[in-house]
Amino acid sequence: MKVLHFFKTYYPDTMGGIEQVIFQLAEGGIQHGIESEVLYLSSRGAMRNERLGSHITHRSYENFQIASTGFSIGAFKDFFELAKQADIVHYHFPWPFMDMVHFLTRIKKPTVVSYHSDIVKQQSLLRLYNPLLNAFLRDVDVIVASSPNYVASSDILGKYIDKVKVVPIGIDRNTYPEATDTSMAHWRETLGERFFLFVGALRYYKGLDYLLEAAQQTKLPIVIMGRGPMEKALKQKAKDANLENVFFVGALPDSDKAALLSLCFALVFPSHLRSEAFGITLLEGAMYGKPLISCEIGTGTTFINIEGETGYVAKPGDGVSLAVAMQKLWDAPLTAAKMGESALKRYEQYFKADKMVKSYCEIYRSLLK
C-alpha cells in the first residue's frame, strides 16, 4: 500500500510536532507493508526522491507565504503526479493551500485528514476561508483527531462527528538518541540536576510570558530550550526582571535534548491557547518518566497530563496558578517521582508510536475495502 502525506513543511526544514507525527507514521508503517512518501513546500527549491530514514520525500518550491500559509505553483503538478501513484492521500490540517490543491487537481483517491488544530489566531482570515474549509472537510473520507478532548471542544469537528476518529499521537523511544556521557556531564555541571524544563518553539501560544512570571514568583530554576519569533522579547523580559534562575539554551542537537530530558526535575508546558492541540513535548516528558505541568485549554495537553496523577494542571494564562503548581511539585519530590512513574505508565499505555501506526493502518485498510 502506498500513502502520500501532504503538508506545508517537513524535515529538515522544520522540526515541529506535525513533522514528528508524519515521520513516525512513515517509518513505523514499513513493518505493516505501507510505503509512505511525503510532499511538502520548501524555499530551498523543488526536489524529487530524497531519502529520509527509510522513506522518500519530495519538495515543491514555495513561491510565497500569506498569513503563515505557504503557496506553490509547482505543487499542483507535483501533487497530481504523486497522488496518482498512491493508494491513500493523507492530508495534515490546517493548511488552506492544501484544500485548494485537493479540489483543483481532482484526484479521486481515498483521503485521510489528520486534524492537528483549529485555526485560532487568524480569525478575520478564517471567515474568508470557512467556505473552503468546510467544503474540504465534507469531501474527505476520514478525519482523525489526536484526543477525545479536542473533539469535544472543537466546533468545527462537531459538524463532522460521523467521520471523525480519535488516534492519539505516539512517539518511539528508539528514535531518540541516548544522551552521551559528555553531554550529561556538561549539562549537569552547567544546570545542576534539579530544574524545570520547557522544550518547544518560542511562539505566542506557548505561554512563556506566564512562565517567566512564575519564575519571578518562585525563583525556581527553569531551562527554556528552543528558538522562535518571541525569543528576543522573552530574553529582554527576563533580563529586565533580573531572572537569574531562567536559562535560555537555544535550539540544541537531539543528544543534548535527551540529556536535558534525562536530568530535569519536571517538564513544564505552559501553552495557554488552543493553537496547542496536543503537546508532543509533554509526551516526551512522560516517556522520560518526568512529572508534568500543563494548562487546561480543552485540548490534548490534559489528555496526556492528568491532574493529580501524572502532574498538575494550571489555569491558562495565569502566572500565579503556574507558580503554585511548580512549587507544589518542587516541595514534594517523592510525590513528584510517583507522578513521573504514572506519566511513564500512561505513555506506555496510550502514546507509543506503534499503537498510533497500527490505528492509522486500520483506517487506511478500511478505506481500501
Side-chain half-sphere of 270: how many Cα atoms within 13 Å? 27
Which pLDDT value is given to residue 331?
A: 98
Residue 68: pLDDT band with limits 50, 70, 90? confident
Cis peptide before 333 (omega within 30 of 0): no
The whole-model pTM stands at 0.90
pLDDT score, position 15: 80
Which stretches within 68-206 are classed as H helix?
Answer: 74-85, 96-105, 123-139, 148-153, 155-159, 181-191
| pLDDT of 124 higher than 90 | no
Contacts with 314 (C-beta within 8 Å, 6 or more apart), sequence order: 270, 293, 294, 295, 296, 321, 322, 324, 325
Cβ distance 231 to 203 under 8 Å?
no
55, 209, 233, 246, 322 from 237: Cα distances, Å:
43, 8, 6, 11, 18
- Percentage of the chain with pLDDT > 90? 91
pLDDT at 16 over 90: no
Asked if residue 321 has pLDDT above 90, the reply is yes
Q: 126-130, 191-195, 218-222, 284-288: which has the minimum mean pLDDT?
A: 126-130
For residue 225, the cross-strand partners are 199, 250
Using DSSP's 3-state secondary structure scheme, residue 228 falls into: coil
- Could you tell me which residues come within 8 angstroms of residue 262 by beta carbon, excluding any fewer than 6 positions away? 179, 184, 288
Say what the pLDDT of residue 123 is: 67
Say whether 175-350 and 2-172+352-368 share the same fold.
yes
In CATH terms, 2-172+352-368 corresponds, of 2.130.10.10, 3.40.50.2000, 3.30.360.10, 3.90.730.10, to 3.40.50.2000
So what's the pLDDT on residue 249?
97
- Quick: pLDDT tens for 84-104: 999 999 999 999 999 999 999
**Which pLDDT value is given to residue 121?**
72
Average pLDDT, the chain: 95
- Which CATH number applies to 175-350? 3.40.50.2000
Segments making up each domain of the chain, as ranges: 2-172+352-368, 175-350
DSSP state of 179: P
State what percent of residues in the chain have pLDDT above 70: 99
Q: Average pLDDT, stretch 332-345?
A: 98
pLDDT single digits (tens) 161-196: 999 999 999 999 988 899 999 999 999 999 998 999
Quote the CA–CA distance of 282 and 275 in Å, as a whole number: 15
pLDDT tens string 246-261? 999 999 999 999 999 9
Going by C-beta distance under 8 Å and a sequence separation of 6 or more, which residues neighbour residue 80? 105, 107
pLDDT of 122 strictly over 90: no
